[in-house]
Structure 1
Amino acid sequence: MFDHVADSIGQPDLIRVEDGLVCLRFETMKVVSALGAVRHLLDRGAVRPGDTLLDSSSGIYAYALALACHRYGLHCYIVGSTTVDDTLRTQLAVLGASLEQMEPTSDLKLDQSRRVQRIGEILEENPHFHWMRQYHDDIHYLGYRAVAEELERELGPEGVTIVGGVGSGASTGALAGFLREKSDDVQLVGVQPFGSITFGSEHVADPDIIIAGIGSSIPFGNVAHDRYDIIHWISFRAALSGSIDLLRRHAIFAGLSTGAAYLAARWERAENPDRTAVFIAADTGHRYTGSVFSRHREAVDLASLAPHNVPALEELAMPWSRMSWNRAPGPRAATTPRAHDDHPVR
């Protein structure tokens, strides 16, 4: 029995959708990182019940941090993206979290930079707030150790390929890092939208992009570029087709980033049939009902889609590109110093 709903939500399901293809399905994935980070801060005495935790979010981290704060008796303050919808706003309000949402804009970079600027202003006004720094502090890796241990128990420590949206880097980077403690025969495949600075695709614009949660227009300090073996850049329309196929073929209703990860994982599985590809479903598909699933007639047969294998970032092209990253450092424009404390997560 769970003591709090956050503990339950943080437990993922492993679903074998095909031979050698497994879905790691979360209701809300970032609850794992938020709970692990908040527990660590409380254990160290860095925060105490009644304190206020502050961060920026484009969606699911806001809900995750609000749940963690509710779980441990803390206050939650979120500077939210323009993408925060009515459902999430209502949930945050009822949970007691404060939400300050940015004004609507079609410019992702402007939305993210404004949120960062506003965080600085809030901290000046409230220096006692604790900034969680989900994009920069690798404390957010800690909660994924238990998930990695479950994967190892179910699938073994070798011949596993982890596929998922990069985002802040915590989920995919942490899972690969913890699994590699037992065996280096763990591949990590990151999924990015076009236009993201994180792995150097900012020069390729996707006019339909709404999968900002797996990419970024500003440097993220939490991304350990040198953990990734392969990167897939997937357009909105290709990801939509992946999400629709996943629901139609396997009855898994998950978000748009999951459709992209599913598409990439199917390809990697076909390329390496002796390995098990595990793709991450970070959240459910409910917030994409109108923008993705109501457009199911636009989905194309996945057999008609294939990535352009590119040797250099200059050759990236829509709608889908794939590149061997080979655990190289990140592009200069995407790197920023990482924040650490006393936890050995790298």
Structure 2
Amino acid sequence: MFDHIADAIKIPDIVRLTDNVFVARFETMKVYSALAAVRHLLETGRVRRGDTLVDSSSGIYAYALAMACHKYGMKCHIVGSTTVDRTLRTQLEILGATVEQVRPSASLKLDQKQRVERIQEILRESEANPSLGNVYWMRQYHNDIHYLGYREFADIVRREIGVDDLTVVGGVGSGASTGGLVTALRETDPAVELVGIQPFGSVTFGSEHIEDPEVIIAGIGSSIPFRNVRHELYDTMHWVSFDHARSASVELLRRHAVFAGLSTGCCYLVTRWEARRRPDRRYLFIAADTGHRYLDHVFARHEDVLPIDELAPTRVNSLDELTFPWSVMAWDRRPHRAADTDADSTATPHHHTLEETVR
């Protein structure tokens, strides 16, 4: 029995799709990182009950943080992307969070820049006016406390699947989910492999010079560097287009009855290819959320998707060779130049450290 709904919905269902392919299907995965992060901040005295936790989000993390704040008696403020739809915003507001959305932007980079700048304004306002109360910026993209919650997920994987000959496949995004899971699993077996997925147009693994004519899959990529991405954890990288991801999302529902989001389609597509190439290994891919908020843009046009059995990536040896719509490269656990750049380079000059509470 659970004491709060957040503890229940964070737990994934592990489903075997084929002999050597498994999916970890979440209702909303980032509840793991938000719960553990808030608990850690409270236990270490960085925040107190009643403080306001603020962060930027395009959707999933906003819901996770609101749930964590609801459980631990915190105030929550979300600076949201335009992708935060009416259904999610209504849920957030009923949970007690305050939500503001930045104005529509022509690009993901501008959208993220506006969100960071707005948070900087909120921090300055709280410093200037103590009556507004204590404000803490969660910094899901840069604060490594978001790795903590995925140790519990790793325990489930050890129990349900084991780590022998295991390859984990997941969208990179902020880096915390795949990074936290594999860091914990490699404490048992350093040979656990990690396959990461990026959209074209993301700076995280150097594909910013190639634009997707449809849309960048924001949940697994970024237009600014994220400090929580540890490039040296990844063995292989794939770059996948929106059309390929959409086609695989539809096929996953059609073939296995798993209704999940766009990043899950990427993971399913890549896992199928990897599993055919090396059938001696076992594969676990991450389904980070359900497919409901993708209904109009992904599933409504299900009759015109690409046949994924005919899709294959182009193998490349360098970032200069990346080829749309799907590329794969051996990453070999090496660092990357983007990891050393200023993660807040798009923000205003007012900076805060990774664990700075504004009081």
**Structure-2-length-normalised TM-score:** 0.93
Contact kept, 8 Å, 1:220 with 1:334, in 2: the verdict is no
**Maintained 8 Å contact 1:220/1:335:** no
Deviations 1:271-305 (A, max 9, x none): 11111111100000000000000010121211110
Deviation at 1:207, TM superposition (A): 1.7
Aligned length: 341
Aligned 8 A contact 1:312 1:323 in 2: yes
Residue matched to 2:206: 200
Write the deviation string for residues 236-281 of structure 1: whole angstroms up to 9, x where unpaired: 0000111001000000000000000110111111111111111100
> Could you tell me how far 1:149 is from its partner in structure 2?
1.0
Listed one character per residue, the Cα deviations across residues 133-180 of structure 1 (whole Å, up to 9, x for unaligned) are 100011000000011011011222221111011000000011111000
Q: Which runs of 4+ in 1 moved over 3 A?
A: 332-341
Contact 1:218–1:334 (CA under 8 A) maintained in structure 2? no
Look up the match of 1:68.
68
C-alpha distance in 1, partners of 2:148/2:326? 32
Structure 1 residues 216 and 334: alpha-carbon distance in aligned structure 2, compared to 1, 3 A threshold: farther
Shift of 1:317: 1.2
State the match for 2:316 in structure 1.
310
Deviates more, 1:323-332 or 1:192-201: 323-332
Q: How far is the alpha carbon of 1:104 from its aligned partner?
A: 1.1
CA–CA distance in structure 2, aligned partners of residues 234 and 222 of structure 1: 21
Task: State the match for 1:101 in structure 2.
Answer: 101
Name the CA distance, whole Å, in 1 between partners of 2:163 and 2:341. 30
Identify the residue that residue 240 of structure 2 maps to in structure 1: 234
The structural deviation recorded for 1:41 is 0.8
Match of 1:9 in 2: 9
Structure-1 separation of matches of 2:300 and 2:93: 28
Offset at residue 106 of structure 1 (A): 2.7
What is the match of residue 223 of structure 1? 229
Q: Distance in 1 between matches of 2:215 and 2:233?
A: 26
Q: Distance in 1 between matches of 2:27 and 2:343?
A: 31
Aligned to 1:319: 325
Post-superposition CA distance 1:5-30 (Å, at most 9, x none): 11111111100011111001100000
Q: How does 1:52-67 map to 2 (within 5 A)?
A: 52-67=52-67
Residues 31 and 116 of structure 1: CA distance in aligned 2, closer, same or farther (over 3 Å):
same
Given the superposition, is the C-alpha separation of residues 64 and 217 from structure 1 closer, same or farther in structure 2, using an over 3 Å criterion? same
Distance 2:339 2:23 in 1: 32
CA distance in 2, matches of 1:65, 1:217: 22
CA distance in 1, matches of 2:340, 2:315: 22
The answer on whether the counterparts of 2:225 and 2:338 sit within 8 Å (CA) in structure 1 is no
TM-score by length of 1: 0.96
CA distance in 1, matches of 2:164, 2:57: 34
Could you tell me how far apart the structure 1 residues matched to 2:323 and 2:205 are? 14
Paired AA for residue 155 in structure 2: E
SS of 2:211's equivalent?
coil
* 1:87 equivalent in alignment to 2:93: no
> Once the two structures are aligned, what percentage of the paired residues are identical?
62
Q: Which among 145, 154, 161 is matched to residue 167 of structure 2?
A: 161
The secondary structure found in structure 1 opposite 2:296 is coil
Provide structure 2 residue ranges, at least 5 long, that are not aligned to the other structure: 128-133, 345-352
- Asked if 2 retains the 8 angstrom alpha-carbon contact of 1:144 and 1:171, the reply is yes
Structure 1, unaligned stretches of length 5 or more? 342-346
Q: Quick check: 1:279 aligned with 2:303?
A: no
